[in-house]
Amino acid sequence: KNQVEQSPQSLIILEGKNCTLQCNYTVSPFSNLRWYKQDTGRGPVSLTIMTFSENTKSNGRYTATLDADTKQSSLHITASQLSDSASYICVVSEASSASKIIFGSGTRLSIRP
């Protein structure tokens, strides 16, 4: 069964610190992996997308990595800001005619001043 597992479920860090969120998946065949940011009371917004051949991609202070062999991805946030407080969702797409999309349950990140 295709699954996307994220860890930790929740995380609290101090403003200015770095953190790394993890995503493990069993989706096959693999098409691409996206990280979304979801602010409280809002819909998810895409941060990065990576295909099979990409190892790393950055979007400002957000850097995503992908290891397609071990089926693992991480999202690293540098110099955290209060506005980074949100849920971060890992989403993996199948490379099939159905293009099924599987959402992880997210990591709830809280930045403390």
Partner 1 sequence: NAGVTQTPKFRILKIGQSMTLQCTQDMNHNYMYWYRQDPGMGLKLIYYSVGAGITDKGEVPNGYNVSRSTTEDFPLRLELAAPSQTSVYFCASSYSRAGGYEQYFGPGTRLTVT
- Interface residues with partner 1 (CB under 8 A)? 4, 9, 31-32, 34, 41-46, 49, 89, 93-95, 99, 101-106
Cβ distance to partner 1 smaller for residue 54 or 78: 54
Cβ distance to partner 1 smaller for residue 30 or 80: 30
CB of residue 38 to partner 1, shortest distance in Å: 8
| Amino acid present at 60 | G
Cβ distance to partner 1 smaller for residue 20 or 46: 46
CB of residue 14 to partner 1, shortest distance in Å: 25
Q: Which long-range contacts (CB under 8 A, 24 or more apart) does 73-76 make?
A: 73/22, 73/23, 73/24, 73/25, 73/33, 73/35, 74/20, 74/21, 74/22, 74/23, 75/20, 75/21, 75/23, 75/35, 75/47, 75/48, 76/18, 76/19, 76/20, 76/21
CB of residue 76 to partner 1, shortest distance in Å: 21
